[in-house]
Structure 1
């Protein structure tokens, strides 16, 4: 009889091991076994560690210990359930262990396969838990386990890179955090390093053409830039990530008319502001949502410089105090002099007063560059047609007259006879405006040309008059 019971218990292990190869028989007890069940919730479980919520995709496995007693299957199996560390509440582990007895009583015999299947299904819903609150000392272990397990499973898979279209093992690939698109690390590094080197930080985003589209593929959400913290994980070198973060910040500051610059000619640093804190550690910079380098909201209502100056003059008291973030000079936002206290009356400095070098640079830009009609960034064409796309804000415009063009049909502007200054002039200056001599422009640049022509004419006439008088 005892021999028959032993055979029945050995047969039970053989059946279970055929289904679950991970089941391990205890070397010291042939009728005891152990196995681990992966806990991967169908949706990441929110876990609160002292008011800090982390969403964990993987949790430490469920340890299942089973002992088949003498008399099994007429006698119920002995089951214990635990986790290391103990993240699962004791009442839940006790309930899970009791399920084995309930199944044995319900079906009248050995139902270990059904029981283990029940535990695997329950693990997908984290055993009925919608959230969990744990001590903070468990946070490092649980976070590390989730990250490590996710990476180990990812490394074993095979993916097709969406850039080079070659199948690659996960160990040489990277999954984007926000959209889950997968690319090989080599393609990501080549693209992002090149963008950062050229200063094209607005294109440091997911390279998938489908990224941001709705479920039906009918619309595309606003592109979101990759955070410095994620770039380091790809990995991109910390020097390049630091350059990326600083260029992004510089673009935002330059687009914000409320920022005042240091009056020292050798410094010209921006004033300190909480809106754009100075970068100290890029590894901690993890921007959320729409951290695309777009102009700040105040820009749209501050395009009129005179209106902004009027508001600035209205600043009173200590609100006038500004401190340069580079040289630490304290100065007045109104008169741009060194800080003179909040009770001194002052007048705004004439913003038109430029150094000789600055004036020469401004004259060159006004004469040789066409401004973007949206963000006013000066653009100069080196080659190609006169349909331009602004590097800064992506607006479409005409290089000849700086008129805004409809993105869906930008060439209509050059085919309309009513646009006499630009009609059929799409390919004028195809080799660049510096290579073909004088070309008539429109808009602001055209007005500069006309003013320059009449200034030269006036000087020529005056010279002729002077020659006649002499």
Structure 2
């Protein structure tokens, strides 16, 4: 009778546990055996590296802790439960598993002849919330795991994060409507959440119009410090092509985005030479800007040198310096090859390659073609440069408060001065500013609406042209007067 009573107590404890933990499963051959998987979701993500790779992964979910329980004869008064802890794949060190089992036996001794499985499972769950103490040893660095576990653990972390995210509800920062996580996307760097439809519409339109600098987080306060001077210098960090494919955008759209970014970086780099063939004009081959082969593999590390990227969080990354090539002597690295037509030419004089032992000179501005010179003259006369990135800007219509298409800097079209984004129109109300005072709507129809008085670089060009014409007029009058006197 005593044995039957003890067996009833063990079965009763297991049945009570199953009512609390429905995922608890009994053994098929032994009703006094059970097993359960306990989720491991640390409150603070666990830093993990898969040696010998140096990359640190922040894991919010890890493979569950599998607990096997067998209640022997004499439990709970005489004998402790048989406990076995494992993980699949085996990521948790054996020393940690052995310690957790010992804690179960110590808990049995503490409880005496009382049931203790519920308390033990609760303790295991609390230990899982702290990653079993692994996250506390920050002095020793991230947790080191063998490389064969990498794929399984990272895939599990990704799938569980997505599963949890899909069940939540978020307010889209664009359409301001509550949306289920299944139709939303969380940006990787800043964790801002927007619905996929809004992201797709905005990014597709930006890439179609060539405005690649706007392919960033849509939150207006993202990355802002509150310091106007600091925020003005900070450039928006763009999304990577790999992340755009996850939103998802079509492969063709992402390919165009990556090509436009690369083209923009190349054109802004003064160390890059372009093919002298008028029908080609391709850039020279360079390891700095390799040709794009597969955008689906271009993650953050492939796009760190974005023309508008800022350092990630607080990890300052030194900018790549541009070193000038030595010229005019044998052995100098002047030979470059066009990436489009494969023409070998001299980076210094832009002629077809003539060998290392020929001394050449840089192409002078006077060597410009008529078409290049006409384009340069038009830019100098009919555009105002952005004070931040120097990109020429031309007004087609509207007021003289301009926003640079490339870097979004606010500036005055008349004098080229930087304007405070929070109050850009104060510039036109300042009586001390004689050049632009009360001239917000001058030339409202753009440069074609008539000549205006400019300041800054454009004003200097305007004055130089005026005095050149004035000198020519005076000279012509003197010549005409001389002819009349003769």
- What is the TM-score when the length of structure 1 is the normalising length? 0.86
What secondary structure sits across from 2:48 in the alignment? Answer: strand
Which residue number corresponds to residue 258 of structure 1?
271
Alpha-carbon distance change, 445 to 216 in structure 1, aligned in 2, over 3 angstroms:
closer
What secondary structure sits across from 1:318 in the alignment? Answer: coil
The CA distance in 2 between the partners of 1:393 and 1:33, in whole Å, is 63
CA displacement at 1:293 relative to structure 2: 2.4
Aligned pairs for 1:149-228 within 5 A: 149-213=160-224, 223-228=236-241
What secondary structure sits across from 1:168 in the alignment? Answer: strand
The CA distance in 1 between the partners of 2:309 and 2:343, in whole Å, is 27
Of 376, 379, 388, 1:362 maps to: 376
Which residue number corresponds to residue 67 of structure 2?
64
Which residue number corresponds to residue 100 of structure 1?
104
Contact 2:443-2:450 within 8 A present in 1 as well? no
Which residue number corresponds to residue 305 of structure 1?
none
Contact 2:48-2:145 within 8 A present in 1 as well? yes
Which residue number corresponds to residue 25 of structure 2?
24
Alpha-carbon distance change, 115 to 217 in structure 1, aligned in 2, over 3 angstroms:
farther
Alpha-carbon distance change, 222 to 69 in structure 1, aligned in 2, over 3 angstroms:
farther
Could you list the per-position Cα deviations for residues 213-263 of structure 1 after superposition, in whole angstroms to 9, with x for gaps in the alignment?
Answer: 469999867532111111111111121112212222222222222222222
Which residue number corresponds to residue 4 of structure 1?
5
Contact 2:238-2:309 within 8 A present in 1 as well? no
Indicate whether 1:76 and 2:73 are aligned. Answer: no
Unaligned runs of 5+ in 2: 136-141, 311-316
What secondary structure sits across from 1:29 in the alignment? Answer: coil
The CA distance in 1 between the partners of 2:173 and 2:127, in whole Å, is 35
Contact 2:34-2:68 within 8 A present in 1 as well? yes
Contact 1:212-1:222 within 8 A present in 2 as well? no
Unaligned runs of 5+ in 1: 303-307
What count of residue pairs does the alignment treat as equivalent?
460
Which residue number corresponds to residue 432 of structure 1?
446
CA displacement at 1:270 relative to structure 2: 1.9
Contact 1:255-1:295 within 8 A present in 2 as well? no
Could you list the per-position Cα deviations for residues 331-388 of structure 1 after superposition, in whole angstroms to 9, with x for gaps in the alignment?
Answer: 2222211222222222222233222333333333333222223333121112221011
Alpha-carbon RMSD across the aligned residues, in angstroms, is 3.5
Could you list the per-position Cα deviations for residues 400-431 of structure 1 after superposition, in whole angstroms to 9, with x for gaps in the alignment?
Answer: 23334454554343233444342211111223
The CA distance in 2 between the partners of 1:397 and 1:14, in whole Å, is 74
Indicate whether 1:88 and 2:102 are aligned. Answer: no
Indicate whether 1:127 and 2:109 are aligned. Answer: no
The CA distance in 2 between the partners of 1:216 and 1:347, in whole Å, is 47
Contact 1:224-1:291 within 8 A present in 2 as well? no
Alpha-carbon distance change, 315 to 179 in structure 1, aligned in 2, over 3 angstroms:
farther
CA displacement at 1:140 relative to structure 2: 1.5
Alpha-carbon distance change, 418 to 106 in structure 1, aligned in 2, over 3 angstroms:
closer
Indicate whether 1:45 and 2:49 are aligned. Answer: no
- What is the TM-score when the length of structure 2 is the normalising length? 0.84
What secondary structure sits across from 1:30 in the alignment? Answer: coil
